[in-house]
Structure 1
Amino acid sequence: MANLVQNRNTRTLALPCASYVDPVAAAVRIFKGAMVALDGSGNAIPASPTAAAMRGCALDDGADNSTGAAGAASVKTKKGVFLFNQTGLDRTDIETEVSVIDDNTVGGAGALKAGILKDITSEGAWVEIL
């Protein structure tokens, strides 16, 4: 899988809870429906295995700061249970931690934990971002 190149309608299994508004890193675009993480400076970026911390799922229209300095744009994210693409997971992985592969894909092993796998279906992986 690869990072998003357009907005994505990321379905949610449960009502999202905590929401945040974070400054977006310089020269970054975050698409709606992407997993969002924070870099080492606390700015929002599309989730990747090398990010500092997991934040949530991008809402509204995401954020386009592709030509701006850090903090010139902000992105709204929520915690909750969301449907993402998956690789290498099956039903035996339910209730285990899954990791970020890219901003819309989770897998079993990796440096940045995306959250807890709540269910897996033919549509993908339902992940609770904590």
Structure 2
Amino acid sequence: MAALTAGRNTPEFAEGGKIIVLPVAANTVIFDGSLVALDENGNAQPAAKETGLTAAGRAEEYVDNTGGAAGDKTIRVRRGVFVWDNTSVAANKVKPEHVLKDCYIEDDCTVTALADGSSRAGKVIAVTDDGVAVETL
């Protein structure tokens, strides 16, 4: 490829990638506002405590793909920093000393410091009485 010799109108992708559209896994319901994860095939599902998932962000809409095949429906997912519930298990709570470290998925609205049997939710940005601010980028 040759270097540019004049200005180029370089397009921005999907609001800088803050909102992405993903195929929904077969026979899956995702609630708006929930933590969404991708399975090993790249299909969106509610985040859950299991290995091999990739955290995608927050669901921007409700999608019901019950009875549908993978990809029959899509979902808009916003990437960014969102406040999720902290686990109720005292020994596994995300604490202030976890800031800028990874936290892990417990379910579609809860994170934990326990990595065993789970997938990464993202980086802890803050821990407050309201929950855990997690960067999913």
TM-score, normalization by structure 1: 0.81
Alpha-carbon distance, 1:106 to partner:
0.4
Coordinate RMSD, CA, aligned: 1.6
Match of 2:125 among 94, 115, 118: 118
**Counterpart in the other structure of 2:23:** 23
- Measure the CA separation in 2 of the matches of 1:107 and 1:93: 10
Query: Is the helix fraction higher in 1 or 2?
Result: 2
**Counterpart in the other structure of 2:101:** 96
Moved more, 49-58 or 114-123: 49-58
Structure 1, unmatched stretches of 5+, are 1-15
Conserved 8 A contact 1:17-1:80:
no
Q: Which has the larger radius of gyration?
A: 2
Alpha-carbon distance, 1:121 to partner:
1.0
Alpha-carbon distance, 1:94 to partner:
1.5
The amino acid of 1:117's aligned partner reads V
**Matches for 1:21-100 after TM superposition, within 5 Å:** 21-50=21-50, 51-59=52-60, 61-87=61-87, 88-100=93-105
**Counterpart in the other structure of 2:135:** 128
Structure 2, unmatched stretches of 5+, are 1-15, 88-92
Query: Is the strand fraction higher in 1 or 2?
Result: 1
Percent of paired sites with the same residue: 35
- Measure the CA separation in 1 of the matches of 2:34 and 2:67: 19
Conserved 8 A contact 1:117-1:127:
yes
**Superimposed CA distance per residue, residues 50-87 of structure 1 (whole angstroms, 9 cap, x where no aligned partner):** 2432211111x231112212111111101101011012
TM-score, normalization by structure 2: 0.77
- Measure the CA separation in 2 of the matches of 1:43 and 1:17: 17
